[in-house]
Structure 1
Amino acid sequence: MYAQWASRLAGAVVWTRTVHGGATYPVLPDGCMDLLWTGGSLLVAGPDTRAFVPDAAPAGRYAGVRFAPGTAPAYLGVPAYELRDRRVELSALWPGADTRRLTERIDAAPDPAAALERLVLRRAAATAPPDPLPPAVAAHLGAGWSVAATADAVGLGARRLHRRSLDAFGYGPKTLARVLRLQRALALVADGLPYAAAAVAAGCTDQAHLAREMRGLAGMSLSSYLAARGVSANSDTSQPSGSSSVA
């Protein structure tokens, strides 16, 4: 069972998952980084450029805080590109003794998700606020703006935008734009929009473009991904022959 809700930390999401043993599903790139708790361990999930497929999860409770795109490096104290496509112990980033104490506190809490959120809020209060530029970049790209238009809007040249994006997101703005576009398409499909219509509404040229993006970023078809997540969708197989099926 999975649940999520808005965090008291601006733009962040708190989530929980209860696993009864063996269940797993692919985690697609979303432009975000997470601080994760599972009994006895605190981990950081870095920014993904491809689907992360975990090993079969043992039974137990999991909790996480998903930071808004571009904000996690300010709280964690490490550039995002250093954690790209990685899952690392928090003790690799923060002093080991502090991490052990924090982990024990969350392990003992009646509500680990709430305890994890309190940890993040304390950290945020003790650090300088995130640079406002990365969230603005993510907002523009997430709304379907081109990289060039986004660079103009935030007042940066292409090279500076790329460097700033590596630090904030773990990859350049072109990759971030692809990731956010795919997430828009997935949300539209989950809401019941046919594949072809969702592809165009999200900013893809057509359904075949969405299929290529799924293969490139997720390593699977849209139908396979939705089936793994237990989501039913309208594949709209009656589309003209010029739009190849995503299934």
Structure 2
Amino acid sequence: MKRALLLLLLAIGAGNLSAQTANDSLPKLDPKLKASLNAVDQIGYQMAMRYSDPQMAKTKLFELMVRNPEDLRYMEALGSLYFDGGQFASAALVAMDILQLNDKNVGALEVAAYSLEQLGALDRALPHFESLYLLTGDNFSLYKSAFIQYNLKRYDEAMNSVTMLVKNAKADEKIGFPKSQTETQEVSMKAAALNLKGLIYLDQNSMAEAKTAFNEAISLDPAFDQAKENLKKTN
């Protein structure tokens, strides 16, 4: 994972190369030939996906990207393939190239945010999660922002995000917490936010405030195991 992050940072440092930039000097194809080649590659991509051959699918997407630099659908599909295959550095780079062309592309923001988080580049993932929340109003993106702010010890920002989340969380919104290697416990988004609020206070050695926050989380979800374990740390 560290090697993948290093390669990502080196690639970013070298500058973004979008499909549009890479194709500025290519000769223009006859429209009929281009349409014919596109059709063949699209069929090839669909067959590769049908037969679970992601490498061939990527090859077809690269050919489509080179021929159609203005069509972001092929870059989006490539980024998703990289992400689904656990190639997070490649996924992040594709997504960030898309964002150079359209900084409001929700799919690219998601791939960039989660890929960078997987690579441990939390400071780079955070702006993408924040943008996702601003564009979509998705409370899960706000929770991810708050959690990363907390991990980066940006406590004032994290507390502001948590306060917004406690206020705006919907009753039916759930978030998963690991109970074991094979089990996940679902709790309400508001309880999760209050648990995170407690962790922020705990880091700042504000034990009384942390205890109050953990107790509030447990009152909303009495079976919330992590909140119960965190509560013990305030004694």
- Is TM (by shorter chain) over 0.5? no
Higher relative contact order at CA 8 Å, sep ≥6: structure 1 or structure 2?
Answer: 1
TM-score between both structures, scaled by the size of structure 2: 0.25
Q: Which of the pair is proportionally richer in strand?
A: 1
TM-score between both structures, scaled by the size of structure 1: 0.24
